[in-house]
C-alpha cells in the first residue's frame, strides 16, 4: 500500500534526533535479519506502483513546544500518534483518503494471528450525534486512554497510548474537540468473527 500506520516523516527535528539518540544508546545485539520478501500479492501491488515511499507533507518544524494545547495536539494527531491515518476512511486499493479527517469509518480486516475480530474506527470529531468522544470530559478521555486495551485484537496501540502522560492526552483531547464536527454515524466498531459492516 502507499500508506503506513505512522506518519513519522513529519516529526520535528528535535523529536527525530531524540529517537535516533535513544536507539544509539541501546546495547548492540548481534542478530541476523533476513531480507524481506514480497508475497505474490505484494509483488503485484508493487508492480502497479501502489507501494511508494512517503516523504514529509511540508517542512517539518525544528522544535514543537510540548504543552496542553490544541496546536500541540494537532502535531501529535498528525505526526506522532497518527490518529489521522486510522480515523479517516481510506481507499484500500490506493491508500488515498476518501473520508472526512478524523470522522472514522476505516475498516480493519481480522488479524489472522489474533482472535478473528475486525474493527471499524469511530468518529473522533465533536459531532454531538455521531462523534464517539463528543460527550466525553477531558477526565473521561484521559481515564479511557490510561485504561489500556479492552479488545485483545484491536489495531489501536492501546499499550503505547496508556503510557502517554497527562499533557499529551490533554493536548490530543483539546485538538480533537477543536475540529469541525462531522456527521458520520459509525453503527458498530467491533465485529465478531464472521461479521462485517453492512
Handedness of CA 97, 99, 100, 103 (dihedral sign): negative
Minimal CA–CA distance to 185: which of 136, 135, 91, 122?
122
Residue 94 lies in a domain: yes
* Average of per-residue pLDDT across 5-22: 82
Dihedral over alpha carbons 89, 94, 96, 102 (to 10 degrees): 20
Residue 98 lies in a domain: yes
Which residues constitute the domain of residue 43?
8-191
How confident is the model over 25-78, as pLDDT tens digits?
999 999 998 887 777 666 665 665 555 656 677 788 889 999 999 999 999 999
Rounded to 10 deg, the angle between the 166-176 and 138-147 helix axes is 120
Residue 120 lies in a domain: yes
Tell me how many domains the chain contains.
Answer: 1
Angstrom distance (rounded) from CA 76 to CA 175: 9
Q: Which pLDDT belongs to residue 3?
A: 38
Residue 1 lies in a domain: no
Residue 14 lies in a domain: yes
How confident is the model over 131-189, as pLDDT tens digits?
999 999 999 999 999 999 888 888 898 999 999 999 999 999 999 999 999 999 999 99
Name the pTM for this structure: 0.82
Amino acid at each position: 500500500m502507499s500508506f503506513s500506520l505512522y506518519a513519522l516523516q513529519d516529526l520535528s527535528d528535535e523529536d527525530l534526533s531524540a529517537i535516533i539518540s535513544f536507539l544509539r544508546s541501546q546495547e548492540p545485539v548481534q542478530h541476523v535479519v533476513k531480507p524481506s520478501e514480497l508475497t505474490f500479492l505484494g509483488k503485484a501491488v508493487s508492480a502497479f506502483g501502489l507501494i511508494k515511499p512517503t516523504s514529509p507533507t511540508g517542512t517539518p518544524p525544528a522544535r514543537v513546544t510540548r504543552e496542553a494545547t490544541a496546536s500541540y495536539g494537532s502535531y501529535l494527531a498528525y505526526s506522532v500518534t497518527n490518529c489521522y491515518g486510522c480515523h479517516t476512511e481510506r481507499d484500500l486499493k490506493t491508500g488515498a483518503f476518501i473520508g472526512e479527517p478524523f470522522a472514522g469509518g476505516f475498516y480493519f480486516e481480522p488479524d489472522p494471528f489474533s482472535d478473528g475480530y475486525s474493527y471499524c474506527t469511530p468518529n473522533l470529531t465533536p459531532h454531538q450525534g455521531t462523534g464517539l468522544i463528543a460527550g466525553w470530559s477531558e477526565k473521561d478521555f484521559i481515564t479511557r486512554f490510561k485504561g489500556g486495551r479492552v479488545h485483545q485484537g484491536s489495531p489501536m496501540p492501546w499499550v503505547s497510548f496508556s503510557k502517554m502522560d497527562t499533557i499529551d492526552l490533554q493536548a490530543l483531547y483539546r485538538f480533537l474537540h477543536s475540529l469541525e464536527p462531522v456527521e458520520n454515524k459509525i453503527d458498530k466498531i467491533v465485529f465478531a468473527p464472521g461479521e462485517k459492516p453492512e
